[in-house]
Amino acid sequence: GNSVTQMEGPVTLSEEAFLTINCTYTATGYPSLFWYVQYPGEGLQLLLKATKADDKGSNKGFEATYRKETTSFHLEKGSVQVSDSAVYFCALGTTNAGKSTFGDGTTLTVKP
């Protein structure tokens, strides 16, 4: 079945450091790929997405590229800010059966 494996956290960085959160997946077919962000006390919200191989999703300085050959969708940001502290989830789009698949989440803390 479909699955998502995310880099284990927590991750602690200093402000302006480079961020990478690894995400690899196993899927039948070619689902869309998503990164969601969850701020404390809130629900998840979409950060970026990619719908097909080699697509690059980007938003708020974050980027991720849909790599079919390595089944990966790593999240990157060149210079993190304190306000980026949150939990990040990698996810596969829903299958024909309607089921969705999320990674376990990676907690990022950015220190000033």
Query: Could you give the C-alpha distances from 87 to 13, 21, 29, 51, 81, in angstroms and in order?
Result: 14, 11, 28, 22, 14
* 94 contributes a contact to another protein by CB under 8 A: yes
Sign of CA dihedral 21, 53, 69, 30: positive
Nearer to another protein, 17 or 58 (CB): 58
Nearer to another protein, 17 or 38 (CB): 38
Partner residues linked to 89 by β-bridges? 36
**Tokens 């590229």, residue?**
65
Nearer to another protein, 15 or 104 (CB): 104
* 42 contributes a contact to another protein by CB under 8 A: yes
Q: Which alpha helices (H) appear in the chain, and where do they start and end? A: none
* 40 contributes a contact to another protein by CB under 8 A: no
Binding site for another protein (CB under 8 A): 31-32, 34, 36, 42-46, 49, 89, 91, 93-100, 102-105
